[in-house]
Amino acid sequence: SLRAGIVGLPNVGKSTLFNAVVENGKAQAANFPFCTIEPNVGIVAVPDSRLQVLSNLSKSVRAVPASIEFVDIAGLVKGASQGEGLGNKFLSHIREVDSILQVVRCFEDNDIVHVNGKVDPKSDIDVINLELVFADLDQEEAEKSALEKIREALLDGKPARSVTLTDYERDAVKHLCLLTMKPVIYVANVAESDLSDAADNNYVKEVTKVASELQSGIVTVSAQVEAELTELPMEERQEYLNSLGVSGSGLGNLIRATYGLLGLRTYFTSGEKETKAWTILAGMTAPQAAGVIHSDFEKGFIRAETVAYDDFVAAGSLAAAREKGLLRSEGKDYIVQEGDVMLFRFNV
Ligand code: GDP
């Protein structure tokens, strides 16, 4: 739905307004299709008396209003574009909204400090405009330098993904959705008879070489074998693979490679009730990873107990891993590793 970002200088009434929006949203929640609200997002119905009239006439079970999301974007201060306050990170939150609601202080109150010493709406508006102007200039510079590098590569017949860019430059050109910027896996489709020693196949060698030159991945499969496997009953599949001299289906490798290429990682939760694989982005911290299960886990995160997959298996159980001292206690800065088995401690 439409997102409106609430911004403004400190002490102008942003939180007060945002909290009112959230309370209003909660009050409407009964006839509302949304239930999860992120801490800084409030969803409200667009008031429209016609909705109920139509709903009554049609004897509808439910009337669903149009909605708007209000996003509280605190942290815009003088110098934000230079990295003051929360800096660039939160400017990117502003980029994601469809419209900006700038709260401007027009009330006098000697008990509430004005960041610039006096109530001055015109100056407040100017300060924020200027920060956004600086941020846009930075963005434009990053885009320009990225485009120049990319153009050079493209004119040379090379894909955009072969260009080394800073994170900032990369973000600045994301919206272009360049075809040659997308990560690529070459799927070398070999003959049934070549599957067992595919790495020795000259064609595959050629693809491997090109893939490495083009910063791309390679996975070898026999599409025909995969198709034939689907025709076989489960219990005969392994036998068939063995007869071809391979241990497993190539489809699994392909799926894992695709997953890995997108920068995705897996961690596990494992207990008596269930064992589950969770998808996270590479580099996520323990609280962020916990947030994938439920946002309350992230908010109330205290610590995580974690054991690497191999250690868990070697120990035989979580309890045994704990006894052997393989279960580590990690804090909020811990970067979750591929295959970690996690147990989260959190406040509710
Ligand atoms: P923020 O920093 O922009 O999020 O501002 P807050 O919403 O936290 O408000 C800062 C202070 O101003 C709080 O003490 C509010 O109660 C108060 N405040 C907010 N709106 C008004 C208003 O319209 N009149 C007065 N007198 N105080 C207000």
Q: 110: annotated binding-site residue? A: no
* Nearest atom, ligand 1, residue 18 CA: 7
Q: How far is the CA of 8 from the centre of ligand 1 (A)?
A: 12
Predicted confidence at residue 83, as pLDDT, reads: 63
**Residue 112 CB–ligand 1 contact under 6 Å:** yes
Closest CA to 109 of 20, 9, 7, 13: 13
The closest residue, in CA terms, to atom 2 on ligand 1 is: 11
Ligand 1 atom 18 nearest Cα: 13
Matching residue, tokens 């309370």: 23
Could you tell me the distance, in angstroms and rounded to a whole number, from the CA of residue 299 to the centre of ligand 1? Answer: 25
13 is in an annotated binding site: yes
312 C-alpha vs ligand 1 centroid, how far in Å?
Answer: 52
Give the three-state DSSP class for 120.
Answer: coil
Residue nearest atom 21 of ligand 1, based on CA coordinates: 13
CB of 19 closer than 6 angstroms to any ligand 1 atom: no
pLDDT of residue 35: 45
Residue nearest ligand 1's atom 9 by CA: 13
Q: Is 87 left (phi over 0), alpha (psi -120 to 50) or beta?
A: left
- DSSP-based three-state secondary structure for 135: helix
Under 8 Å between Cβ of 333 and 285:
yes
Q: Which domains does the chain have, with CATH numbers?
A: 2-122 (3.40.50.300), 185-261 (3.40.50.300), 264-346 (3.10.20.30)
Residue 163 among known ligand-binding residues = no
3-state secondary structure of 201: coil
Distance from the first to the final alpha carbon of the chain? 29
Radius of gyration of the chain (CA): 27
CA quadruple 186, 190, 196, 198: dihedral sign: negative
Dump pLDDT digits (tens) for 26-72: 766 655 554 445 668 888 888 899 999 999 999 999 888 888 999 99
What are the tokens at 201? 């196949």
Q: For residue 8, give the ligand 1 atom closest to its CA.
A: 3
Whether 87 lines ligand 1, by a CB cut-off of 6 Å, is no
CB contact at 8 A, 222 and 197: no
Residue closest via CA to ligand 1's atom 20 equals 13
In short, whether 265's Cβ falls inside 6 Å of ligand 1 is no
Is 15 annotated in a binding site? The answer is: yes
Cα–ligand 1 centroid distance for 13 (angstroms): 4
Is 16 annotated as ligand-binding?
yes
- Residue ranges of the chain with per-residue pLDDT less than 50: 34-36
ipTM of the complex: 0.95
Mind giving me the DSSP string for 224-282? HHHHHHHHS-HHHHHHHHHHTT-SS-HHHHHHHHHHHHTTEEEEEEE-SS-EEEEEEET
299-308 pLDDT, tens digit per residue, is 899 999 999 9
Crossing angle of the two packed helices 223-231 and 250-261, in degrees rounded to 10: 120
Residue 333 CA to ligand 1 centre (angstroms): 33
Give residue 113's pLDDT: 86
